Chain A
């Protein structure tokens, strides 16, 4: 059976190796260990375990991997409405405008949505093709069917090639080559009631180009930043 000093010393070793003992108790343990081979062995084992643990915990390499923290914090604050972006814009707008705001986790979530978005786009495109196959395209905006006002590409005579199918667009779209009637400074029938649509066109193609373009007024109020 160990003498009381050994028992006391052995019990104190975990705190002794970490320097967590009062100085008085620490000195007593030291004095005992000087004269006790058993406890010296115990101390060596305790020191080995403490050393590997300490070296592991204080190894500075972990800090090299430290990611950017603030961007994620700020994104979280914006999402919860806890702060407002400086310009008073909404959280998503502010997040997009904040440099480096997208954390890897956020980017990962967006990347996971990409296949869904691609599938949805492909589905819409296929629906558009099916709609195009259902027969000669009807004029999109002209109930009278005046060819001069056609916005959509008509089916050419003969068999339809893949490239032809690809040229077809959904009703209401403005495919290439359909701006010819607009180049005359005329809007297709039915669009006169929406003169603001002309603003989407280059100046020289707008209704009354050169004569009335300067006086063209949008029905929508102009924002302070100049964007309608």
Chain B
């Protein structure tokens, strides 16, 4: 059986983003595919994978440090989806459910990574600086963009995982607080607080690094900056607020 999910199936419209108000048909098609997949229809599940792999990949890749980790995470997420199809709640969009699984797996992965980071005190997996395609730019511009990407990623990695996931879902997927709340299983107030706190912490870290760079540039002969990669304990980043209604 040729169940290659790369070729779009004209029978099913493309999915809408989670929470999109004009995407009911895509959502219903997803639900139809879920029902078919529950009966063991492999093609239906392959179609679900094809429709949602890109979104899942984008989120996963922003939260874990390498393509390989993101691929494994997304594949694991789809396996979990298949295993738990019986428990799918048709009140929700399939994409929300999938992103919740991806998000939970990514947060687990980030927590393990942060634990390893704090124990070793050394980041062995350097952030991949090639996220922004340097080939399309002049050498100096490419180098600058690569450095900026590495700096941003390093700043992002100092944030606690739940801040990272809220920022990624908001900035990358353009989701609102209610949609993110559905995915991360929190109240929209908590999501707003995570966005607020995450952006503030990111800004502080970004500015701290900028000050360090300026200081180094001002020093004669430069100098090694041992303080550049700073591990920030999640406890420093503040407790979750009490949910308000």
What is A's interface to B at a CB cutoff of 8 Å? 14-15, 17-18, 20, 45-46, 48-50, 52-54, 56-59, 61-70, 72-74, 76-77, 80, 82-83, 85-86, 99, 103-105
User: At the interface, is chain B mostly helix, strand, loop or mixed?
Assistant: helix
Apart from A56-B152, A56-B153, what are 6 other A-B pairs with CB-CB below 8 Å?
A: A15-B192, A63-B54, A63-B57, A66-B57, A67-B67, A69-B74
A15 and B133 contact, CB distance less than 8 A: no
Contact B199 A49, beta carbon cutoff 8 Å: yes
Asked whether A105 and B200 contact (CB < 8 A) given A53-B171, A74-B3, the answer is no
Contacts A15-B196, A54-B171; A70 near B42 (Cβ below 8 A): no
Known: A57-B167, A83-B40. A65 touches B199 (CB 8 A): no
CB distance from A104 to the nearest CB of B (A): 8
B33 at the interface (CB under 8 A from A): no
Q: Is B110 an interface residue (CB 8 A)?
A: no
Distance A85 CA – B42 CA, assembled complex (angstroms)? 9
Give Cα A104–Cα B72 distance, bound, in whole angstroms.
11
The A-contacting residues of B in range 188-245, CB under 8 angstroms, are 192, 195-197, 199-200, 202-203, 206-207
Identify the closest chain A residue to B174 (Cβ): A58
Bound complex: CA A63 to CA B200 (Å): 28
B193 CB to nearest A CB, Å:
10
| From B155, B170, B207, contact of A18 by CB (8 A) | B170
**Contacts A20-B177, A73-B79 hold; do A62 and B1 have CB atoms under 8 A apart?**
no
- B105 in the interface, Cβ–Cβ < 8 Å? no
The interface centre, meaning the residue of B46, B68, B148, B196 with most chain A CB atoms within 10 A of its CB, is: B196
User: Which residues of chain B have C-beta atoms less than 8 A from A58's C-beta?
Assistant: 171-172
A105 near B72 with CB under 8 A, answer yes
B residues within 8 A CB of A70? 3-6, 46, 49-50, 53
The yes or no answer to B38 lying at the interface (CB within 8 A) is: no
Contact B40 A56 (CB under 8 A): no
Cross-interface CB contact of B203 among A49, A57, A99, cutoff 8 Å = A49
B78 in contact with A62 (CB, 8 Å)? no
Report the minimum CB–CB distance from A19 to chain B (whole Å): 10
Of the candidates B56, B74, B171, the one whose C-beta lies within 8 Å of that of A57 is B171
Q: Which residues 41-61 of B have a CB within 8 angstroms of A?
A: 42, 46, 49-50, 53-54, 56-58, 61
| B75 lies within 8 A of A73 (CB) | yes
Question: Chain A contacts of B155 at CB under 8 A?
Answer: 53
Query: With a CB–CB cut-off of 8 A, which chain B residues contact A69?
Result: 5, 49, 53, 56-57, 71, 74-75, 78
Chain B residue nearest in CB terms to A46: B203
B167 touches A53 (CB 8 A): yes
Q: Is the CB of B152 within 8 A of A52?
A: yes
> What is the number of residues of chain B that contact chain A, defined by CB distance less than 8 Å?
54
Q: Give the residue of A49, A57, A73, A80 whose beta carbon is less than 8 angstroms from that of B168.
A: A57
Answer yes or no: B83 CB below 8 A from chain A CBs.
yes
Contacts of B97 in A (CB 8 A): none
Summarize A's interface: helix, strand, loop or mixed. Answer: helix
In whole angstroms, how far apart are the Cα atoms of A54 and B177 in the complex?
17
Chain B residues contacting A46 (CB-CB under 8 Å) are: 199, 203
- Given A69-B49, A70-B53, A18:B195 Cβ within 8 A: yes
Which residue from chain B places its CB closest to the CB of A77 in the assembled complex? Answer: B82
If A15-B192, A49-B206 touch, does A77 touch B79 (CB 8 Å cutoff)?
A: yes
Which of chain B's residues have a CB closer than 8 A to the CB of A15? 192, 195-196, 199
Nearest B residue to A68 via CB reads B6
Report chain B residues within 8 Å CB of A82.
82-83
CA of A99 to CA of B6, assembled, Å:
13
Does B116 sit at the interface, judged by CB under 8 A?
no
Closest to B169 in A: A57
Looking at B50, B68, B168, which has the most chain A CB atoms within 10 Å of its CB?
A: B68
Min C-beta distance of B236 to chain A, whole Å: 17
CA distance A28 to B139 in the complex (A): 45
